[in-house]
Structure 1
């Protein structure tokens, strides 16, 4: 799959309409329908760049039903033979108890090395806590076809305010994906961010650590990030 095709698919899957809440990053609040921002991040590392979008919305401020999407795209800096990777999850959520929801939707993953994009139905659970300074998202899920991969995606954000406009921004993000049919680790990652926030913009330094295959072959990527909200 060519890089331009992967970017196009990432934008399509990542551009679901948002309809309820989110003020700063994943922070929740009562926002008029159609006015909720969407946080995006661009990370420029020594080996590759990444683009990430995460949406967590309720259909209305008091609705038990909502939508969650995480889309991540990575590409290196080669002009010829560029390597690109992409994954996206688009799921519907139904809250059953205090931040815990059952989920169902689609998961997509692709790579320029394999020239394939695989789309599978998926189901699982979501735990979401979003406060003024702290955000927790935990999303375990299981692919319902093919290799029945089990995956857990987690985001922990800590972002205390220092003044009206300035604050500290930190994030720990993890992913673990296991192929249950063939019984091996397929891919996992740890993303770290440390920086400051100014109004609705966060920026600083970070690192991406990706692990591939049964032997968990490691690729480390160190660089800088900028993150903001779009509508």
Structure 2
């Protein structure tokens, strides 16, 4: 059932992407799609950031994260889809509102701000959010990429990504994760090695995953 939902969600997401791509405006930003084949399970991530008005003040932001083990166990299958409409505040800051579809919690309304700055070598994203249901949680996502040029067609690719979610009432740990990638980029493709450290619930139940990843910028 959850695998079917993952396929359906991916289909709908790419349909929305196609719709936005047909609108006039500046060239669209790349859409990174990444899959890691780890020793314990497979991880998936897609990031979409598209302007939705002529002036570029409003944008649609999506992050889709999924994980499934190699035996297709329901209890080991995860998908979290975050959608928000962001408004450009200037100086690389945006304010946003939207909803998160969570494989266990259902629909979670969110409010937050985002700081984003990028150039060919560096990318930095910091995004604190308030999750309003089923409890009030503070969630912070931070991401940094370092991509120096190695040759005219090749770049080093490194990424560190942090997720931390805490229930505000009582300060209970809900979810955290630490993601690391190192590889080589050639044109639209990036490949290398990765590590995921994921922790769940108040007792920080641990799931580790190490393997090879491939990433394509659509």
Look up the SS of the partner of 1:162 in the other structure.
strand
Assess, with a 3 A threshold, how the Cα gap between structure 1 residues 67 and 81 changes in structure 2: closer, same or farther: closer
Gaps of 5+ in 2: none
Root mean square deviation, CA, Å? 2.1
Q: CA deviation at 1:173?
A: 0.8
Q: CA deviation at 1:145?
A: 3.1
Structure 1 residue 7 and structure 2 residue 6: aligned?
Answer: yes
- Matching residue of 1:99: 92
The within-5 A match list for 1:112-131 is 116=104, 118-131=106-119
Query: Matches of 1:9 and 1:109 in 2, distance apart?
Result: 15
Residue deviations 1:172-202 (CA, integer Å, cap 9, x gap): 0110111224641111100000011111111
- Matching residue of 2:213: 225
- Matching residue of 1:68: 61
Pick one of 201, 205, 221 that aligns with 2:189.
Answer: 201
CA contact (8 A) 1:13 1:71 kept: no
Q: What is the TM-score when the length of structure 2 is the normalising length? A: 0.89
Q: CA deviation at 1:67?
A: 1.5
Q: What is the TM-score when the length of structure 1 is the normalising length? A: 0.84
CA contact (8 A) 1:87 1:108 kept: yes
Assess, with a 3 A threshold, how the Cα gap between structure 1 residues 150 and 79 changes in structure 2: closer, same or farther: closer
Higher helix share: 2
Instruction: Using the TM superposition, name which of 57-66 and 142-151 deviates more.
Output: 57-66
- Matching residue of 2:150: 162
- Matching residue of 2:17: 17
Q: CA deviation at 1:168?
A: 0.2
Q: How many residues align?
A: 213
Assess, with a 3 A threshold, how the Cα gap between structure 1 residues 143 and 221 changes in structure 2: closer, same or farther: same
The within-5 A match list for 1:19-38 is 19=20, 31-32=26-27, 35-38=28-31
Structure 1 residue 109 and structure 2 residue 102: aligned?
Answer: yes
Query: Matches of 1:208 and 1:53 in 2, distance apart?
Result: 16
Gaps of 5+ in 1: 21-29, 111-115
Instruction: Using the TM superposition, name which of 119-128 and 61-70 deviates more.
Output: 61-70
Pick one of 7, 12, 36 that aligns with 1:43.
Answer: 36
- Matching residue of 1:137: 125
Query: Matches of 1:163 and 1:61 in 2, distance apart?
Result: 36
Query: Matches of 2:74 and 2:52 in 1, distance apart?
Result: 42
Look up the SS of the partner of 2:152 in the other structure.
coil
Q: CA deviation at 1:216?
A: 1.4
Assess, with a 3 A threshold, how the Cα gap between structure 1 residues 55 and 81 changes in structure 2: closer, same or farther: closer
Query: Matches of 2:122 and 2:54 in 1, distance apart?
Result: 20
Query: Matches of 2:180 and 2:209 in 1, distance apart?
Result: 11
Query: Matches of 1:122 and 1:159 in 2, distance apart?
Result: 31
